[in-house]
Amino acid sequence: MNVASVVQMIAGLSWLLFIGAIVFAVTQAARRRSFKGLVTLIVLAGVVALLLSSASAGLVFIQPDQRGVVISAVAAKGYREQALQPGLRWIIPFFENVITYTISRQNYTMSIAPNEGQVFGDDSISARTADGQEVLIDASVIYSVDPDQVVQVHIVWQNRFTNELVRPLARGIIRDAISQFGVEEVYSSQRAVLAQQIQDEMSRKLKENGLLLGDFVLRNITFSPEYGASVEQKQIAEQQAQQARFVVEQRKQEAEQARQVAQGKADAAVIEAEGAAEARVIQATAEAEALRQIAAALEENPDLLTYQYISKLAPGIQVMLVPNNTPYLLPLPSLESATTTLPSTLPPSTTP
C-alpha cells in the first residue's frame, strides 16, 4: 500500500464521519434536542474530508514497471509531454488524471495449438514459399513499450497496440519473409537466416511505433500433408543410401584389414625364410671353415688322424704296436692291456 492509497482511505473515513455527523444532527433535530455542538464537528469533518480528497486526487504512485501519461485540462495540448516516472508524483487535483502503461515485456503468441496463443484455436500464420508450397508458422513476439515513447504510444494507439499493431505487423512481415525462400530453405539451411530477417524487420517497424522488440521466436513450421509425406520419403531414402554407404565402407575396411593380415603373414613367412636361409648360410660357412682348419691341421700333422682314430677305439685297448710302414690301424678288441714285441727286424712304434 502506497501513500496515495493511505490518503485516499483516510479521506474516505473522513467523508463517512462527515455523513455520520450530519445524520446524527438530523436525528437530534427530529427529537427536538440540541445539536449545536455537532455543527462544529460537521464543519470540521467536511473540511478535513475535502482536503484529504483533494490530496488523494493529486497524489499518484507510479510503480517501477510503469510510466504515467498525464491528461491535463490546463495544458495547452491536453496532456503533459513528459510521462510520469516511478515513485510518488503530484498532479493538479480534479484537473488532471493519469493513465498508466506497463513497460515490462509482453508476449504475443500465434500457434496452431488451440490453447497456446492469445487467440483460441488455430492462430498459426499461413504463408507460401518462393516455390509455391504452403506452410503454417507458429511464432512468438516478445515486446515492450518504449519508456521514452509512452506519451506517443498513448496518443496513437492507447491500449490497442497489441491487437492492432503487434499482431497484424508480425503476420505480414512473416508472410513477406517466407515468400523469399524456397520450402527446403525454410525448414533446413536458411531457417536461421529467415528468423533473423523477420526479427530485424519487426524491430524496425515496432520502434517506429514506440515499441521495443525483445525477441522473436520462430516456434514451429508445419507443412501440408502431401509435402510432409514427400519429405519423409526423401529422408527415408537418404537414410537408406547413407546406410548402404556405411555398409560399403565397412566392407572396404574389412577387406583392407584382411589384406593387411595376409600381407603380414606373407611378410612374416618371407622374414622366416630369409632367417632360415641366413642361418643355413652361416652354418655352411662355419662347417666349411671347420673343414678348412681340419685340412690345415692334417696337412701340418698327418698322424693326427691316426691319433683320432685310435682314441675312438674300445677303451680296453690302451697300447697297440704295429709296423711303422703299415698304412692302416685295425681294432683288436680281444687283446688285453699289454705290451707286444714285434720281430727285431722292425723298429717298434708305440702309440699311446
Is residue 344 over pLDDT 50? no
Average pLDDT over residues 110-135: 87
Give the model's pLDDT for residue 198.
94
pLDDT band at residue 316 using 50, 70 and 90 as cut-offs: low
pLDDT digit string, tens, across residues 283-313: 888 888 888 877 777 777 777 667 666 666 6
Is residue 346 over pLDDT 60? no
pLDDT digit string, tens, across residues 79-96: 899 999 998 888 888 888
Are 94 and 54 a contacting pair, CB within 8 Å?
A: yes
Nearest 5 degrees, angle CA 54-CA 57-CA 59?
110
pLDDT digit string, tens, across residues 152-179: 999 999 889 999 999 999 999 999 999 9
pLDDT band at residue 37 using 50, 70 and 90 as cut-offs: low
Which residues touch 90 (CB under 8 Å, ≥6 apart)? 58, 59, 60
Percent of residues, the chain, with pLDDT higher than 90: 29
Half-sphere exposure of 65 (CA within 13 A, CB side): 5
pLDDT band at residue 260 using 50, 70 and 90 as cut-offs: confident
Does residue 264 sit in helix, strand or coil? helix
Give the model's pLDDT for residue 14.
78
Average pLDDT over residues 48-77: 86
pLDDT digit string, tens, across residues 186-233: 888 888 999 999 999 999 999 999 999 999 999 988 887 777 666 667
Is residue 349 over pLDDT 50? no
Give the model's pLDDT for residue 1.
56
pLDDT band at residue 345 using 50, 70 and 90 as cut-offs: very low
Which residues touch 62 (CB under 8 Å, ≥6 apart)? 68, 84, 85, 86, 87, 89, 98, 100
pLDDT digit string, tens, across residues 136-155: 999 999 999 999 999 999 99
Is residue 347 over pLDDT 70? no
- d(CA 136, CA 178) in angstroms, rounded, equals 10
Does residue 42 sit in helix, strand or coil? helix
Residue whose cell numbers read 508450397:
133
Give the model's pLDDT for residue 138.
93
| Per-domain residue ranges of the chain | 3-70+81-94, 106-223, 313-352
Cell numbers placing 103:
513497460
Of residues 342 and 214, which shows the higher confidence score? 214
Q: What is the pTM of this model?
A: 0.58
Percent of residues, the chain, with pLDDT higher than 70: 81
Give the model's pLDDT for residue 348.
46
Give the model's pLDDT for residue 202.
95
Give me the chain's average pLDDT, please.
80
The DSSP letter of residue 149 is: G
Cell numbers placing 246:
556405411
Give the model's pLDDT for residue 176.
94
Is residue 342 over pLDDT 50? no
Fold classification of 106-223 is Tetrahydropterin Synthase; Chain A (3.30.479)
Of residues 321 and 115, which shows the higher confidence score? 115
Is residue 315 over pLDDT 70? no
pLDDT band at residue 70 using 50, 70 and 90 as cut-offs: very high
Give the model's pLDDT for residue 67.
94
